[in-house]
Amino acid sequence: MLLALPAFSFPTLALRRPLRSELRIDVDLPPASLEAELAALDRRLRTPGDALHACATWPAPLPGLYFRHREADGEHFVYVVDGASGRLAGYTVFNRLIEIDRRSDRHVRSPHSKYAPAWQGRGLASAVYAWALARGICLVSGARQSPAAFALWQSLGRRQPLHYVDIRDKRIHDLGPSVDAARRDLLTTRMFLAGAGWTATALRRAGVLHDAG
């Protein structure tokens, strides 16, 4: 059972509008490289004395799984572990963005996920993103994405309002629920999901979002 995603209301947003266009998709990690990275992390999670071994353990909103979580320098790392085997299925890191100012940095992170091929397509990353959104963390997509990452944002965009934003001059500028092809191709154009409790007015008042102009 996935965590319920929070509501976010923009005055001009068409509710639950499906995404009809793609951002830049040019990231695809080779399976062997991915498996090697996850195996190394799995060993660290099991090794007493390692920083990862000390991660907090939380129940996951998916049957048979649990989360291991740590926070370092304001970034969140969520490791999803198979309860039956104790093996790492994959992880999501919520990175800070160097492109934004301090006011936005308090509330915004950019998620990046890596999950083993056997676990892909089972809603793990979606559950982890929902965990972050429920904590009030606003999410911004990366400048480049893998096909799986783009599909995940498409899915989230069907469940709650999603906006495009332009990141420039250390600020996040709201572009609305859709943009043209030329705008989508710019590296500064990203997708934005608001965390629980945020409204458009509150985001502007907090200095997180700014007008496009």
Whether residue 98 lies inside any domain: the answer is yes
Confidence at residue 29, expressed as pLDDT on a 0 to 100 scale? 60
Confidence at residue 1, expressed as pLDDT on a 0 to 100 scale? 35
Whether residue 206 lies inside any domain: the answer is no
Whether residue 213 lies inside any domain: the answer is no
Whether residue 116 lies inside any domain: the answer is yes
Whether residue 117 lies inside any domain: the answer is yes
- The Cα-based distances of 6 to 99, 113, 202 in angstroms read 26, 21, 15
pLDDT by 10-residue block (mean), the chain, 213 residues: 39 35 52 91 97 95 96 97 96 96 97 93 94 96 82 86 94 94 89 94 96 85
Query: Do the beta carbons of residue 99 and residue 199 sit within 8 Å?
Result: no
Q: What is the CATH number of the domain that holds 87?
A: 3.40.630
Confidence at residue 23, expressed as pLDDT on a 0 to 100 scale? 54
**Domain count within the chain:** 1
Whether residue 180 lies inside any domain: the answer is no
- Rounded to 10 degrees, the C-alpha dihedral 10/16/18/19 comes to 20
Show the domain range for 143. Answer: 31-161
Confidence at residue 32, expressed as pLDDT on a 0 to 100 scale? 81
Confidence at residue 3, expressed as pLDDT on a 0 to 100 scale? 38
Query: Do the beta carbons of residue 25 and residue 150 sit within 8 Å?
Result: yes
